[in-house]
Structures are given as C-alpha cells and as structure tokens.
C-alpha cells in the first residue's frame, strides 16, 4: 500500500457522549446472511449523487440492497459501534484525516489495492489512483473543496473576491456562515491574515501560528452563524441569514444549477480535501462490503458521481470520463475543484497534520467557542 498506517488497539471503554449519538438508531445486530449493506454518508444532494451513481447500479448488478444512513462526519459514532461490539454501519464515507485516525484506532478494516478494479485500459488500481488516495484502511473516492460563497441579491456594493474579504466586516458588513469545526476555519483564518498557502501548516504547527489563527477568527466571531450539515449554507444564503458562508463546493453548485440560485463561489484559497471509503471494523458483512468498495471506486462509478455533483474522481482514468451534468447538461469540468483554474488557487488539505493534531484542535476550538 502507498501509505501504511500503524494500527493500535482501541480502548475498551465506550464513550458516553458517543453512545448518545447512537440512541436514535436501532440496536439490533444485522444478520450476516442479510443481502444488504448499510452505508453511512453525508446526506442531502451529496448522498443522492452516490445513490444514483453507485448504490442503484450496484444493487442492479449484484442484487445487494444499500441502506443509507446520514451523518456529519467524525469518528464518534463509528467508535461507539466498534467498542460496543454492535456494528450497525458496514461502509462509511470519511475525510482522509478521520480515516487515518480510525485506522490507527482499529476502527476500520484493512483494504488492499489488489481487490480494486483496474482502470478501463487495464492499468492496475494502485497506479491509477492519484498519489496518497490509497491508504491501509481507506480507498480514495473524490476530491471536494470547502470554499466560500455569497448571494449577490443580499450583498450590495462591491463583491468579495479573496479569502481576506470574508473576514473584512468593514467592507462587507453582515453575518458569516462557518462550519462548527476547526477544520478549514483555521486554514482560512491564516490565509486571510496573509500567510501564504504553502506555509499554512508549518505556521499552524507553532504556538504563535495557532494564536494568530484564533485571533483572526476572533475578529468575526460575533458575526458567525455556525452550520453543521452541508445542506445548511445554501439555505442560509438563500434566506439572507448570512451575506456569505463557507460551504462545500458541490452543494453550492447544485443550488446554482438545480435551484437556479444566483450564488457565486469564491475559489480563492479554497481547501481541497480527500474523501475515502472505509469498512467499519467488525462488520458481519465484510465480504459484501469489500465487493461494494471495489464497485464504488471503479473509474466509471467515480465519474458517475461527477454527473450529479461537482466533486472530482480520485482516479486518473476517472478524470477523463467527466462529462456533463446529467439533469441540466452543464459541462462539469470547469466546476471541479481539480480543474486547472481552480486547482491553481487551492490549498491541498494536509490530512496527516489533522490526523496528528485533530483531537487537540477540536478541544481548543470547543474551548474557544465557549468563551
């Protein structure tokens, strides 16, 4: 594998807070012989894209039904299931940092590139995935970006064009939407404060850099409306609840083309993140889960997602298959975070930094919110 990760034994105690997150789910253990899989993903238009491009074709080909559960990321629910021995999810959609931490904790099953489909021209999967998109416990799916966007109908005068403008309350008064997480917010804050993109993570690694990032967030803290689900920013922008908001680029794109919203994406300093599929450790349906992973990460399956939402395939051969939006006919290539014009303005997400510092950052961010 390209990025083997060290695995350690998980703690035996079940975190009470994590268990609370699961109280709304059925605790009946799924039967190993049941021809269905439960896949946890991010909901909304994102989940619908995967249902159309992957879940429904997989069921048609194999007869295995896919049950979709929505969640907002993180490892708490996965950890609670594994530590309790009551695994309800078989496959889960994760960002790369969470996949790496989950692998370290033994929450995810190992995967092998040898089990994955080759490219359409026969190129082995290990050579077809972009660098870093195959790890010990995760198979790369796509690249997405956290951008910020605005609704011009609710923003009079000049329009924002840089990440600095997002933090400029004098020039652009009004509330901002931001995800309730340190992830990306810290990167945005430093770039808005003048740190070059290629120095962001080195700066974050210093006490002075961390103070600088939180100080920049302090300048707009009283004007932030926090969001947690990807469907929230488009609604907040449409309603005029905020004048601009960070958001996932695909959610804004779908609002533009499907709902005819006049939103404008500001690509300056967007953070491009890797999404992967992992298999929850201890699933009684391990063989079916591996079969689904191989199907879902075919070049054709990944490119199919790109016909419903503007997220780019994790495979080189998938990039060549990107075409038009299935429902509107819009050319998808310019809207991908990996398009040459957009990629040139991106900060690639350093998942290894977040793997090593994520818990610390979450604690510090929570303390900052409470102040």
For the segment 55-100, what is each residue's pLDDT rounded down to a tens digit? Answer: 999 999 999 999 999 998 899 999 999 999 999 999 999 999 999 9
**Cα gap 38→53, rounded to integer Å:** 16
DSSP 241: S
**Does 9 reside within a domain?**
no
Strand partners, 347: 271
**Cα gap 133→339, rounded to integer Å:** 18
- Looking only at the bridges linking them, the beta strands covering 264-279 and 139-150 are antiparallel
Contact 247, 147 (CB under 8 A): yes
Q: What confidence tens digit (pLDDT) does each residue in 294-343 have? A: 999 999 999 999 999 999 999 999 999 999 999 999 999 999 999 999 99
Q: Do 139 and 149 fall within a single domain?
A: no
Q: Do 360 and 237 fall within a single domain?
A: yes
What CATH number is associated with residue 72? 3.40.190.10
Q: Do 354 and 212 fall within a single domain?
A: yes
Q: What is the pLDDT of residue 18?
A: 42
Q: Do 255 and 328 fall within a single domain?
A: no
**Does 56 reside within a domain?**
yes
**Cα gap 234→246, rounded to integer Å:** 10
Q: What is the pLDDT of residue 10?
A: 35
Q: What confidence tens digit (pLDDT) does each residue in 183-205 have? A: 999 999 999 999 999 999 999 99
Mean pLDDT of the chain: 91
Q: Do 99 and 75 fall within a single domain?
A: yes
**Cα gap 306→143, rounded to integer Å:** 11
**Cα gap 328→250, rounded to integer Å:** 15
State the number of CA atoms in the 13 A half-sphere of 314 facing the CB: 26
* 174 has a pLDDT exceeding 90: yes
**Does 261 reside within a domain?**
yes
Question: Residue 33: pLDDT band by 50, 70, 90 thresholds?
Answer: low
* 290 has a pLDDT exceeding 80: yes
**Does 102 reside within a domain?**
yes
Q: What is the pLDDT of residue 45?
A: 85
Q: Return the higher-pLDDT residue of 43 and 158.
A: 158
* 24 has a pLDDT exceeding 80: no
Q: Do 133 and 280 fall within a single domain?
A: yes
The predicted model scores a pTM of: 0.87
How big is the chain, counted in residues? 371
Percent of the chain with pLDDT over 90: 87
Which residue segment(s) compose the domain that 340 sits in?
16-143+274-347
- Range with the lowest mean pLDDT among 42-46, 155-159, 163-167, 233-237? 42-46
**Total number of domains in the chain:** 2
Q: Do 335 and 366 fall within a single domain?
A: no
Contact 139, 276 (CB under 8 A): yes
Q: Do 79 and 174 fall within a single domain?
A: no
Q: What is the pLDDT of residue 43?
A: 83
Q: Do 229 and 320 fall within a single domain?
A: no
Say how far residue 221 (Cα) sits from the centre of its chain: 24
Q: Do 214 and 338 fall within a single domain?
A: no
Average pLDDT over residues 193-218: 98
Question: Residue 52: pLDDT band by 50, 70, 90 thresholds?
Answer: very high
């Amino acid at each position: 594998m390209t990025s083997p990760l060290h695995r350690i034994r998980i703690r035996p105690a079940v975190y009470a807070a994590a268990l609370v997150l699961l109280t709304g789910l059925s605790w009946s253990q799924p039967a190993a012989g049941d021809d269905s899989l439960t896949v946890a993903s991010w909901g909304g238009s994102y989940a619908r894209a995967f249902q159309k491009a992957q879940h429904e074709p997989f069921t048609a080909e194999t007869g295995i039904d896919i049950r979709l559960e929505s969640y907002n990321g993180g490892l708490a629910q996965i950890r609670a299931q594994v530590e309790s021995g009551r695994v309800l999810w078989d496959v889960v959609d994760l960002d790369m940092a969470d996949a790496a931490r989950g692998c370290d904790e033994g929450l995810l099953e190992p995967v092998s590139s040898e089990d994955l489909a080759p490219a359409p021209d026969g190129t082995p999967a290990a050579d077809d995935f972009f660098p870093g998109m195959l790890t010990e416990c995760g198979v790369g799916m796509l690249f997405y970006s956290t951008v910020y966007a605005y609704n011009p109908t609710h923003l009079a005068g000049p329009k924002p064009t840089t990440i600095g403008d997002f933090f400029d309350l004098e020039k652009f008064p009004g509330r901002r939407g931001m995800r309730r997480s340190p992830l990306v917010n810290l990167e945005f804050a430093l770039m808005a404060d003048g740190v070059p993109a290629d120095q962001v993570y080195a700066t974050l690694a210093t006490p002075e850099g961390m103070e600088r990032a939180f100080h920049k967030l302090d300048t707009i803290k009283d004007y932030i409306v926090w969001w947690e689900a990807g469907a929230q920013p488009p609604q907040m922008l449409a309603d005029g609840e905020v004048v601009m908001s960070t958001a996932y680029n695909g959610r804004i794109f779908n609002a533009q083309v499907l709902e005819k919203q006049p939103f404008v994406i500001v690509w300056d300093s967007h953070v491009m993140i890797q999404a992967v599929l992992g298999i929850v450790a201890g699933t009684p349906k391990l063989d079916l889960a591996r079969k689904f992973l191989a199907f879902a990460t075919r070049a054709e399956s990944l490119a199919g997602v790109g016909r419903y939402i503007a997220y780019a395939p994790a495979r080189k051969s998938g990039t060549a298959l990107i075409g038009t939006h299935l429902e509107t006919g819009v050319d998808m290539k310019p809207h991908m975070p990996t398009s040459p014009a957009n990629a040139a303005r991106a900060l690639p997400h350093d998942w290894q930094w977040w793997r090593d510092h994520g818990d610390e950052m979450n604690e510090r961010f929570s303390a900052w919110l409470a102040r």
